Amino acid sequence: MSQSPKILYTLTDEAPALATYSLLPIVQAFTKSAGVQVETRDISLSGRIIANFPEFLTPEQRINDDLAELGQIATTPEANIVKLPNISASVPQLKSAIKELQSKGYALPDYPEEPKTEEEKSIKAKYDKIKGSAVNPVLREGNSDRRAPLAVKNYAKKHPHSMGKWSAESKSHVDSMSQGDFYGSEKSVTLPAATTVSIELIGNNGQKETLKSGLKLQEGEVIDASTLSVNELKSFLKKAKADAKAQGVLFSLHMKATMMKVSDPIIFGHAVKVFFAPVFEKHAATLESIGVDVNNGFGDLLANLEKLPAEKKAEILADIDACYVDSPDLAMVNSDKGITNLHVPSDVIIDASMPAMIRTSGQMWNKAGKLQDTKAVIPDRSYAGVYQAVIEFCKKNGAFDPATMGSVPNVGLMAQKAEEYGSHDKTFEIPFAGSVQVIDANGAVLISHEVEAGDIWRMCQTKDAPIQDWVKLAVTRARLSETPAVFWLDKNRAHDAELIKKVEKYLPNHDTQGLEIHIMSPIDATLFSCERIKEGKDTISVTGNVLRDYLTDLFPILEVGTSAKMLSIVPLMNGGGLFETGAGGSAPKHVEQFTQEGHLRWDSLGEFLALAVSLEHLGQTFDNPTALLLGETLDKATGRWLEEDKSPARVVGKLDNRGGHYYLAMYWAEELAKQTKDAGLAAKFAPIASAMASQEAKIVEEYNGSQGTPVDIGGYYRPDTAKASKAMCPSETFNSILAQLA
Ligand SMILES: NC(=O)C1=CN([C@@H]2O[C@H](COP(=O)(O)OP(=O)(O)OC[C@H]3O[C@@H](n4cnc5c(N)ncnc54)[C@H](OP(=O)(O)O)[C@@H]3O)[C@@H](O)[C@H]2O)C=CC1
Ligand SMILES: O=C(O)CCC(=O)C(=O)O
Ligand SMILES: [Mg+2]
């Protein structure tokens, strides 16, 4: 290949973005001196906003649309992208990012919640593309391979994280609808030939509305559609609320409102309205007049109350207080600040929130700041049973033991927006009763559902090539790791039944001799895997996209304390590599701690792991021995970093993210100095390694001494580069050693 070796490292948001200010200078200094280029691309929420509204900005303010560029690169064989977690913005996050940018002199338009003019409609459409899970589906041109590397697993066994005990008497449980949900209504079709479909709503009174047209589908593509009845949802939520009160457990809603950006905010909104029903009944007209939209959380109502005269506001607040008294207690996101589970949809994201609850004895925080048993409300049954099965397992067997437990790595189907991911352009809140029909180019109705006004209807697609690639990846991983693999597919679910046919068709294309491969329903697979991890055995989970998301937080959080420590590889279907860091989020809590007390507890281990495999991939693709050597030595350095326990501490005054990076740099330099494959590099890094080692006490003192006071980084969504960089690189001694590499 002709192009010069290049790694594209993404600039994102919150804690990982802060960590980058400290880590990237090290990475660039090391790679540059070995002739490997590491460039950055800005895919932060603020960067994506700026890039999409050039017409509102001065020429100096405009920036390239790096996400679009990376999306294109991801389809090429040269692609080598290190992707850190980024914000998938809820509407409140989007609005506050816009506000911050406006305050920094960017003349961006407000987010028009109820657009009236054509211009407002087009602005809203642009912002809606930036909202929610807008980055990952663009880059994920491959399926996913997520696992805890052996060194990480061994570290966790040696230094087991805290794990809440489980009692057989725990009242915690998952509560879901028993009918009228997506699970109960799913229909699925595999297309015998390519076609173009439209989605029509045909009203009971003869009206007709085209919900979507011109949707091109490929031969062999699986489509499925399902609907959730709003009436069933509301009566379920009402019952769940009463039951939480009767049982004396916390009420806690777990959704993925960021990723499922159309359906889940609507469900979230219904939950808020049912929970605070007396307030909504009594003040319906007032709340409507001030533009309250609780699909953005209960916080939206509270914020809008500011528009009312003091007296009216006080009346509504009193009614809210009365409602709290009559209701079960809500799980809290922040008890000190009175922020409940229903305040902001992006505060409780199911993939991280359910494992956190399971790790904490099945409990969540109540308003007194104490842990309490909890009803986890997950309205749709499609995957909720997995969490209930783990909860039952823990009630029966006690908590898992990180010192001895096995591992559940994941092979996840996600390429080309497979399954529920990205389904939001085919998700609709139904305006009038009738039937929704998916109609092909010949006028044949492929799928049809009866719906009422307010129901949610959604469709998603899974192309055949990604399925073939996923089956292959599963077999490859099972072979390489000599581990049983389980396809988590439920033959009684329409979509999964189609996938089972494909798995059975494509498995014989591979050598599976001697491999243990099963197909099990998600609940059976959960029990099978839990039994095995308890005995210290590993089991690969081979899943669709949503379970990929759920399981790659669930098992890592139980096994190694956080999904940040996962190796997360996306072998791109056209030959490139996307190396995601960790599997989890961007830890807003960590930024808060950093700005308040100068301690960043973000663990960049995921970045170290991703960079090592990215270098390895670069070395292999471009036949570049230096890149291979950099990768090998980085891996060794990371292993040593774990052994010597240089992970950031959680509390101020001790080693944090930045000090941890110093140790990684020192170990990396030592490994480079020690190796014998490239004498030039060894000679270059020997003095660096010894300078870093001899100044250890001083450097650590400079890092740790910088902690303990508030830090100003000049913004949340778009920090000031100079300020953030200064705050993240406080050791002059270390900086000057690094500068010798330039
Ligand atoms: N791939 C991606 O781009 C993803 C992005 N997100 C985005 O991240 C944000 C927050 O998501 P949420 O699901 O609440 O998860 P968080 O980022 O809040 O993570 C949950 C918890 O996991 C622990 N944790 C996560 N990463 C690290 C790390 N590197 N080092 C140490 N601890 C870590 C922290 O626990 P503790 O507090 O105990 O230290 C943290 O509070 C949202 O904006 C969401 O859109 C979410 C998932 C994936
Ligand atoms: O894209 C998102 O919003 C979340 C991604 C995520 O949680 C994951 O891939 O595990
Ligand atoms: Mg996830």
**Residue 137 labelled as part of a binding site:** yes
Cα–Cα nearest to 81, from 462, 617, 464, 482: 617
The response to whether residue 258 sits with its C-beta less than 6 Å from ligand 1 reads yes
- Other residues' Cβ atoms within 10 Å of the Cβ of residue 288: 11
499 and 489 in contact (C-beta within 8 Å)?
yes
pLDDT over threshold 90, residue 34: no
How far is it, in rounded angstroms, from Cα 386 to Cα 383?
6
Question: From CA 730, how far away is CA 594, in angstroms rounded?
Answer: 14
Residue 736 lies inside a defined structural domain of this protein: no
Residue nearest to atom 18 of ligand 1 (CA): 587
Residue 295, marked binder? no
Q: Do residues 692 and 730 make contact, with C-beta atoms less than 8 angstroms apart?
A: no
For the residues 195-202, what does the mean pLDDT come to? Answer: 98
Rounded to 5 degrees, φ, ψ at 376 are -90, 110
User: Amino acid identity, residue 692?
Assistant: M
CA of 554 to the centre of ligand 3 (A): 9
Query: Is any atom of ligand 1 closer than 6 Å to the C-beta of 561?
Result: no
Token output for 723: 């300020």
Q: What is the pLDDT of residue 33?
A: 83
Evaluate if residue 300 carries a pLDDT over 60.
yes
Per mean pLDDT, which range of 268-282, 534-548, 578-592 is the poorest? 578-592
**What is the per-residue pLDDT across 309-337, written as a single tens digit (0 to 9) for each?**
999 999 999 999 999 999 999 999 999 99
Q: Report the nearest atom of ligand 1 relative to the CA of 605.
A: 29
- Residue 390 is classified by DSSP as H
Per residue in 230-252, pLDDT (tens digit) is 999 999 999 999 999 999 999 99
**Cβ atoms 228, 450 nearer than 8 A:** no
Secondary structure letter of residue 349 according to DSSP: B
Residue 680 is which amino acid? Answer: G
Give yes or no for residue 403 having a pLDDT over 60: yes
Residue 23 maps to a domain? no
| Total Cβ atoms within 10 A of residue 475 | 21
Q: What's the CA angle centered on 508, arms 506 and 510, to 5 degrees?
A: 90
In a domain, 574, yes or no: no
Task: Return the DSSP state at 649.
Answer: P
Single-letter amino acid, residue 104: K
Please list the helix, strand and coil fractions of the chain in percent, rounded to the nearest 5, in that order.
50, 15, 35
The yes-or-no verdict on residue 420 having pLDDT over 80 is no
**pLDDT, average across residues 100-128:** 97
CA-closest residue to ligand 1 atom 48: 585
Alpha-carbon distance of 632 to 614, in angstroms, equals 11
With a 6 Å cutoff on the Cβ, whether 603 touches ligand 1 is yes
Q: What is the mean pLDDT of the chain?
A: 96
Q: Tell me the two tokens of residue 33.
A: 């001196």
The ligand with the least distance to the CA atom of 582 is 1
User: Cα(352) to centroid of ligand 1, in Å?
Assistant: 7
What gap in Å lies between CA 145 and CA 142, rounded to an integer?
Answer: 10
Which ligand 2 atom lies nearest to the CA of residue 421?
A: 1
| Atom number in ligand 2 closest to CA 259 | 3
Instruction: Please compute the mean of the pLDDT values over residues 431-459 and round it to a whole number.
Output: 98
Separation of CA 594 and ligand 1 centre (Å): 15
Q: Which helix (H) or strand (E) holds 242?
A: helix 230-247
| ipTM of the complex as predicted | 0.94
Residue 723 annotated as binding site: no
Number of domains in the chain: 1
pLDDT tier at 147 (50, 70, 90 boundaries)? very high
**Ligand 3 mean position to 156 CA, how many Å?**
21
pLDDT digit string, tens, across residues 64-95: 999 999 999 999 999 999 999 999 999 999 99
Three-state DSSP class for residue 311? helix
Q: Write the CA distances from 436 to 120, 225, 227, 366, integer angstroms.
A: 29, 10, 9, 42
84 labelled ligand-binding: yes
Q: What is the pLDDT of residues 594-631, one digit of tens each?
A: 999 999 999 999 999 999 999 999 999 999 999 999 99
SS in 3 state form for 417-484?
Answer: HCCCCCHHHHEEECCCCEEEEEECCCCCEEEEEEECCCCEEEEEEECHHHHHHHHHHHHHHHHHHCCC
Q: Which residues line ligand 2 (CB under 6 A)?
A: 88, 133, 136, 258-259, 351, 549, 552, 583
Q: How far is the CA of 57 from the centre of ligand 3 (A)?
A: 34
Q: Is the CB of 279 under 6 A from ligand 1?
A: no
- Alpha-carbon Rg for the chain, nearest whole angstrom, is 26
d(CA 127, CA 52): 8
Take residue 35 and report the two structure tokens written for it. 């002739």
* 723 domain residue, yes or no: no
Residue with tokens 């002059």: 732
Say how far apart CA 110 and CA 100 lie, in whole Å.
Answer: 11
Cβ–ligand 1 distance for 347 under 6 Å, the answer no
For residue 581, which of 64, 5, 17 has the smallest C-alpha distance?
17
| In contact, 250 and 275? CB cutoff 8 Å | no
Structural domain includes residue 334: yes
State if residue 589 touches ligand 1 by the CB under 6 angstroms criterion: yes
Nearest ligand 2 atom to alpha carbon 88: 3
| For residue 1, pLDDT beyond 70 | no
Other CB atoms within a 10 A radius of the CB of residue 381 amount to 18
561 pLDDT above the threshold of 50: yes
Which atom of ligand 1 lies closest to the CA of 603?
30
Ligand nearest 608 Cα, by number? Answer: 1
564 pocket-lining for ligand 1 (C-beta < 6 Å):
yes
Q: Is 25 annotated as a binding residue?
A: no
Residue 278: other Cβ atoms inside 10 A: 13
Q: Which residues face 427 on adjacent strands? A: 458
Over 60: is that where the pLDDT of 142 sits?
Answer: yes
User: What's the confidence (pLDDT) of residue 2?
Assistant: 43
**How many other C-beta atoms can be found within 10 angstroms of the C-beta atom of residue 147?**
25
Q: Is 603 annotated as a binding residue?
A: yes
What pLDDT does 35 receive? 86
140: annotated binding-site residue?
yes
Q: What's residue 584's pLDDT? A: 85
How far is residue 727's CA from residue 424's CA, in Å, rounded to a whole number? 39
Please indicate if the annotation marks 586 as binding a ligand: yes
How far apart are alpha carbons 738 and 554 in whole angstroms?
Answer: 38
Q: How far apart are CA 414 and CA 470, in angstroms?
A: 9
CA angle 201-382-192, nearest 5°?
55
- In-domain check, residue 135: no
Which residue's CA is the nearest one to ligand 2's atom 8?
A: 549
Q: Which letter, b or e, does each residue of 55-70 get, where b requires 16 or more Cβ atoms within 10 Å of its Cβ?
A: eebeeebeeebbbeeb
Beta bridge partners of 202: 208, 435
In whole angstroms, give the CA distance from residue 53 to residue 318. 42
- Counting ligands in written order, the one closest to the CA of 414 is 2
Specify the ligand 1 atom closest to the Cα of 88.
Answer: 45
Task: Calculate the CA 196 to chain-centre distance.
Answer: 32
Per the annotation, does 351 bind a ligand? Answer: yes
| Residue minimizing CA distance to atom 23 of ligand 1 | 562
Give bridge partners of residue 620 from the DSSP assignment: none
Domain that holds residue 364: 229-380
Could you identify the atom of ligand 2 that is nearest to the CA of residue 256?
3
Strands 363-365 and 540-543, sheet pairing:
unpaired
Does some domain include residue 10? no
What number does the ligand 1 atom closest to the CA of 259 have?
A: 45
Indicate if ligand 1 lies below 6 Å from the C-beta of 87. yes
602 neighbors 595 (Cβ within 8 angstroms): no
| Domain membership flag for residue 279 | yes
Non-local (6+) Cβ contacts of 318 within 8 A are none
* Residue 442 is labelled as binding a ligand: no
Q: Angle 439-440-441 (CA atoms, 0-180°, nearest 5)?
A: 130
> CB of 383 closer than 6 A to ligand 1?
no
> What does the block give as tokens for 609?
């792991």
